[in-house]
Every structure is written in structure tokens, then in C-alpha cells.
Amino acid sequence: MTSRRRFVRDSGTVLGAMMVPGVLRARVKRVAPSDQVRVGVIGCNGMGFQNLRSILKIPEVECAALCDVDASVLNRRAGDVEGAAGVRPALHDDFRRLLEDPDIDAVIIGTPDHWHCLMMVMACEAGKDVYVEKPLANSIGECALMVAAAQRYGTVVQAGQWQRSGSHWSDAARYVQSGEIGRIRLVKAWAYQGWMKAIPVKPDEPVPDGVDYDMWLGPAPARPFNPNRFHFNFRWFWDYAGGLMTDWGVHMIDMVHYAMGDAGPRHVAASGGKFAYPDDASETPDTLQATFEFADYSMLWEHATGIDLGPYERNHGVAFIGNRGTVVVDRGKWELLPETEVVEGKLSYLTTPMPVQQRRDDGGLDAHMVNFVECIKTRAQPTCNASVAARAAVTAHLGNIAFKTGRRLTWDDATQSFPGDAQANALLRPTYRAPWRLPSV
């Protein structure tokens, strides 16, 4: 543990007032080297770089290193950082070299989902704090390993479910918990993504120059390079991710758990398929409905690609349906829809109406990063720590397992298993491709 890391961990500085707007780097004062939080980014093409843009708005933070298996991405992002901050970060094509740097305090993991577990556990072992993109992992078993690693090594882990730091999401959750809409019997969560069109089938190709494809695959099965599986579209292939059920599902389902509690479901069933684009290149379902039965309420998950007109005329959101009204919340606002009844010929509301509550801040990502850096300094638990992130990821993965098995499943949340169901239990953990091994904690 270097003197810089000891300083960072011992400092009690509060950073909430230091969140500064800007494109990438907005320094409002010079920061002493001993005060700086040095971050490295592993996987810096998409959300990895968006996360870096956000965290660099905090004056204490500087980018020390970037890592990517695609040299063109790595060099482009290095130029972006150098142009904005005036300093070129160290560059790596192997994440293990980045983790060996003793001066790096925290890492941002922005890789495809199938890499999250191994990289996060290794970062914890190396003494780094971690911001990891959602979903926490690509399987239920990996989630448990990541939670155990964070606890064993005392790591500050923040997952990219940034609605947890959005004030209007918190306001909506508190209103639901207040009892104003009565007993919650049903929760709906959904993502209708009209921008997602068919992915044309393409032939396999030679690996592009400058790409370490074997490292990109990592623990995933060996396959020929295909451009459809690379970069953004990895989300729609089972080897690397879980489709919209985990990509958007963890965002919305996390808000269900936020308001309703952390207990897992007892039963789950799912149906759907490739109904919108049956002949395109993707593997995961473009249309899915999953039913989760909790102890005293049910949750319905829906997703669809190519269309935007979801429940309540919103393309994403969560609806808490109570006996006296419904609360609907998305990334822009939340609102109350009161139930009504007729008493002596007059229509009356069962709960007091209120205006639509608009989002008051950036919606969460910048505040999420401020919370992460605060916790690096104070060693408190972040808003969306590994245990919180695992809760949403496990629920989402249950929906995918139910879809794959094609039947209603019974889930034992205490043992994290399907009692007496060998077929479903076989889907709890992945098999890693050699020489990579599923970590043990």
C-alpha cells in the first residue's frame, strides 16, 4: 500500500460540492499530488470512457492509465485525455499490467460483461477500489464471488447502476415506502428500445489489425472473429452478456429493489423470443416478458426492441401499483396516478393528487461518481456497492434462466440455487476457457 493510497484512504474530504460541469476535465483549482485519486480505465470504448468523463469532473481525480485490447480505441482515447487534461496517460493492452501499478488507486471496468468478475476480483486482490459497469456479472455465481471479494479485501466497489444516485428516483422510492398509495400488489418494469434495429448477419472475418482478439474473448468460448460480436453488439450474444434483460433490466429492477426491499423472488417464469427480427444475427430475445413472484407482490418485466411505446407511453420505467394509486418513474420524472372511487355520486381520489415531479439534477451518473470518490476517501460503502448490484443482477439473470429452461422455476434465495433442479442449477456458473479460471475467494 503506497503512501498515496494511505492518504486517500485516510482523508475525510467531502467532495459533494466539487462536482463541476464540463466536457471532460474541468479543473477549478490546483490539487496537491498527495490529494489526488489516480484512476485507470480497463475497456475505454463506450461506457468505460463515459464513466471517465464523469469522474474527471471531480478536481481530485486524474487519469493515470488506460487499457484496451483495440489499439485504435486505446490511442483515440489517450488523445482525448491528453487534449483535455494536458497529460498523456500510461497505455496498456493487458489489464494485468495496469493492476500492477502501485500508484493507481481505483479502476473503472468498462469491458463486456463476461470479463467483469475476473477483473474485479483481481483488482480487489491488487488493492484497488473498483467502479464496474452493470450488470455486476454475467452469471449468478460470479456475482457471489464478487461480493465475497469486496468484503474480504475491504474494497470500495461502485456498480454502474447510477439511478441509485438520482434524486428523483430516491424521491419516488420514498413516496412508495410512505404508504400513500397503499399496499403494493404489483410492480412493472420495462425497457422498450426503439433505436435497436435488426443486426444484419455478417460472415466471420480476419481479426482487425491492432486487436488482441484472444484477450478480448478471455474466459469466453473460442470463436472466429465476427464484427457483430465485437464492441457494442456483444450485448446480444450469450457468451458475453444477457441481452436487454440484464443490460437495461438491472437499471430498472434495481429501482424495484430500492423501493420494495432486498428479498429475492420465490418463483420466476419467462416467455418471449426473437419475434421482431427472427433472422438477424443476435441470439438474445428481442421480446421478453418475465414474471417474478415475491413474498407479497409480483413483478412483471417487459422488454422489446424496435419500438418505443411501452407501458404508460414510456420507453422505460418502473410502475408501483398500490391499492390507492400508482407511482410511475423513469429517467426524466416521476408521477402519481391516483385511484378513484364514486361516493354519493361524486368522483373522489383515494390519495391526494400532485404535479408531475421532474428530474432536478443530472439524473445520477455525476453524483454516482462523486459518491464513489467520497467513499474511496472515507471507506464508507457506496450507494450501489457490490451487494446492492448483485441483488439486481441476480434477479435479472433469473429471468434469463427461466427463459432458457422454458418453465416456471422455484428459487431459494438463501442458498442461491434452484432446489432439486439440475438443469437450472447448471446455468448458475459459467465454464471459463483455459488458461483463465473462475476465481476463488
pLDDT tens for residues 105-124?
999 999 999 999 999 999 99
Domain ranges of the chain: 3-164+366-390, 167-361
pLDDT band at 2 (very low <50, low <70, confident <90, very high): very low
Strands (E), 285-416: 287-293, 298-305, 316-322, 325-329, 333-338, 340-343, 346-349, 357-358, 409-410
- Determine the pLDDT at residue 10: 45
Average pLDDT over residues 417-431: 97
296 pairs with which residues across the strands?
Answer: none
Place of cell 486524474: 62
Q: Is the pLDDT of residue 296 over 70?
A: yes
Burial 219-240 (b: 16+ CB within 10 A, else e): bbeeeeeeebbbeebbbbbbbb
Q: Is the pLDDT of residue 331 over 90?
A: yes
Place of cell 473462475: 438
Fold of 167-361: Dihydrodipicolinate Reductase; domain 2 (3.30.360)
Q: Are 430 and 219 in contact (CB under 8 A)?
A: yes
pLDDT band at 34 (very low <50, low <70, confident <90, very high): low
pLDDT band at 32 (very low <50, low <70, confident <90, very high): low
pLDDT tens digit sequence for 365-392: 999 999 999 999 999 999 999 999 999 9
Q: Is the pLDDT of residue 345 over 70?
A: yes
pLDDT tens digit sequence for 41-89: 999 999 999 999 999 999 999 999 999 999 999 999 999 999 988 889 9
pLDDT tens digit sequence for 389-420: 999 999 999 999 999 999 999 999 999 999 99
Percent share of the chain, pLDDT over 70: 92
**Averaged pLDDT score across all residues of the chain:** 92
- Determine the pLDDT at residue 287: 98
Superfamily of domain 3-164+366-390: NAD(P)-binding Rossmann-like Domain (3.40.50.720)
Q: Identify the CA nearest to 287 among candidates 279, 295, 278.
A: 278
Q: Is the pLDDT of residue 428 over 60?
A: yes
Q: Is the pLDDT of residue 25 over 60?
A: no
pLDDT tens digit sequence for 169-189: 999 999 999 999 999 999 999
User: Which residues, including other chains, have CB under 8 Å from residue 177's CB and lie 6 or more apart?
Assistant: 259
pLDDT band at 30 (very low <50, low <70, confident <90, very high): low
Q: Are 414 and 48 in contact (CB under 8 A)?
A: no
Q: Are 98 and 63 in contact (CB under 8 A)?
A: no
Which pTM does this prediction carry?
0.91
Q: Are 281 and 202 in contact (CB under 8 A)?
A: yes
CA–CA separation, 32 vs 1, rounded Å?
19
Reported for 195-200, long-range contacts at CB under 8 A and 24+ positions apart, including other chains, are 196/286, 196/305, 196/306, 197/277, 197/305, 197/306, 198/276, 198/277, 198/279, 198/280, 198/306, 199/228, 199/233, 199/236, 199/277, 199/280, 199/281, 199/282, 200/280, 200/281
Backbone angles phi, psi at 326, to 5 degrees: -130, 135
Q: What is the largest CA-CA distance in the chain?
A: 77
Q: Are 62 and 36 in contact (CB under 8 A)?
A: yes
Percent share of the chain, pLDDT over 90: 89
Task: Name the grid cell of 322.
Answer: 398500490
Q: Is the pLDDT of residue 254 over 80?
A: yes
Query: Which residue type, as a one-letter code, is found at position 189?
Result: A
Task: Name the grid cell of 404.
Answer: 432458457
User: Which residues, including other chains, have CB under 8 Å from residue 304's CB and lie 6 or more apart?
Assistant: 191, 192, 193, 276, 286, 287, 288, 310
Helix (H, G, I), strand (E, B) or coil at 270: strand
